[in-house]
Amino acid sequence: MSIYQLGLDYAKQQDILDELSSYRNRFHIPKDKHGNELIYMTGNSLGLQPKSTKSYINQELEDWANLGVEGHTEAKNPWLPYHEFLTESMANIVGAKPLEVVVMNTLTANLHFMMVSFYQPTKTRYKIVIESDAFPSDKYAVESQLRHHGFDDREGLILWEPRKGEELLHYEDLEAILESHGDEIALIMIGGVNYYTGQYFDLKLITELGHKYNCIVGFDCAHGAGNVELNLHDSGADFAVWCTYKYLNSGPGSLAGCFVHERHAYNKNLNRFTGWWSHNKQTRFNMRHEFDVLPGAEGWQLSNPPILSMAAIKASLDMFNEVGIKKLTKKSKKLTGYFEFLITKLNNQDIKIITPSDSDKRGCQLSIQVKNADKILHDKLTEAGVISDWREPDVIRCAPVPLYNSFEDVYKMVEKLKNILND
């Protein structure tokens, strides 16, 4: 028997019982032209704006106006060490040690910087494994790394593919790839939570498999950070990257995160691109010093960071700190489980949820495949006030986000979908 029930009253009651329900009021919820709140289901694409963000950014604008360059040391939150104010909260969110985490650059840029260090191909070991349905930017990035090192990108790329007629990936198939090509593979680079299916991979299992064959293992956790408990340190992954504008609600195009496992923290021999922000903080401003790399993930920074973007990240991370990722994922499992229950209860043969049904193998997103549908379905949902995300050829991605989505949102979304499908 299901733990969930049908009906709007049940949804409303769950919102009353939800200890995180008040957080919704701390976000700006987009509205339609009549001023009604939209049902926002696209936190997997761009998270909503916390109401506190403006004051965090204003603080830095004021300090800049009043202090000019002195703000580097005299601002309320001095700019020189500003990125350090984010480290501990970010480390908690992704399950890492502070030494292993830094916020810098943007996502695809970080992926390249990580590959500069961790993709060190030889004549015989140069291939890269990715999911066949990896996010395009990741695919383009690894292809360009192959070409950069003089390899053919088609020959050098190995795709971990779903079985015929399936969408999700099997670890046995990755193992089979490693069994036959293990000594040719330099790098395994997987999306921690696949952007299309929402499948949350077992990062530890993949890492152990990869390391068994002496491959470097990295993850793009864009769809995992702030959504699932990543436990990056314990996974043993060599590196990971993620953005902060999805589940971490820090604004369009905001800065990204980067994880480098502790075991690489003091390795000064790793090839890397460097700049003055990767240099020892004590002697950084002596200017004529020989390069002395910082230990840990900070040693991969290049530039002094954009404080206004970091202020938006700080606003969001302070809220995450208050709630904690454990409480968030607990609610998330319940909310998405409820969403899955309602979709299943539609009993519509044209609908298939391609996201894993095991709540430990997914985050909050459900990818709903609708047979014979096209983008018109998505457009009708938008007209009905549901902001969802359409992926060709026939998938709607919806992510009820535990910080600001309610059980009522989920109920109403499914009702609207039902009405559109019945039409």
Residues of this chain that bind ligand PLP (CB under 6 A): 106-108, 135, 137-138, 191, 195, 220, 222-223, 243
CB of 366 to ligand PLP, least distance (A): 17
CB of 414 to ligand PLP, least distance (A): 25
Q: φ and ψ at 127, to 5 degrees?
A: -80, 155
Q: Which is nearer to ligand PLP, 107 or 294 (CB)?
A: 107
Q: Which is nearer to ligand PLP, 20 or 188 (CB)?
A: 188
d(CA 233, CA 231): 6
d(CA 92, CA 316): 13
CB of 327 to ligand PLP, least distance (A): 25
Helix (H) or strand (E) run with residue 389 in it: strand 389-391
Q: Which is nearer to ligand PLP, 63 or 167 (CB)?
A: 167
Read off the amino acid at residue 97: K
d(CA 412, CA 387): 12
Distance of CA 422 to the CA centre of its chain: 35
Q: Which is nearer to ligand PLP, 79 or 195 (CB)?
A: 195
Q: Which of 399, 357, 285 is nearest to 46 (CA)?
A: 399
**From start to end of 114-237, where are the E strands?**
127-131, 157-160, 185-191, 216-220
CB of 253 to ligand PLP, least distance (A): 7
CB of 242 to ligand PLP, least distance (A): 8
Phi-psi region of 200 (alpha: psi -120 to 50; beta: other; left: phi over 0): beta
**Cα atoms found within 13 Å of the Cα of residue 82, Cβ hemisphere only:** 28
CB of 133 to ligand PLP, least distance (A): 11
Dig out the tokens for 22 from the structure.
Answer: 């008040």
Q: φ and ψ at 3, to 5 degrees?
A: -80, -10
CB of 140 to ligand PLP, least distance (A): 9
Q: Which is nearer to ligand PLP, 140 or 285 (CB)?
A: 140
Q: Which is nearer to ligand PLP, 160 or 195 (CB)?
A: 195
d(CA 401, CA 381): 18
Q: Which is nearer to ligand PLP, 135 or 404 (CB)?
A: 135
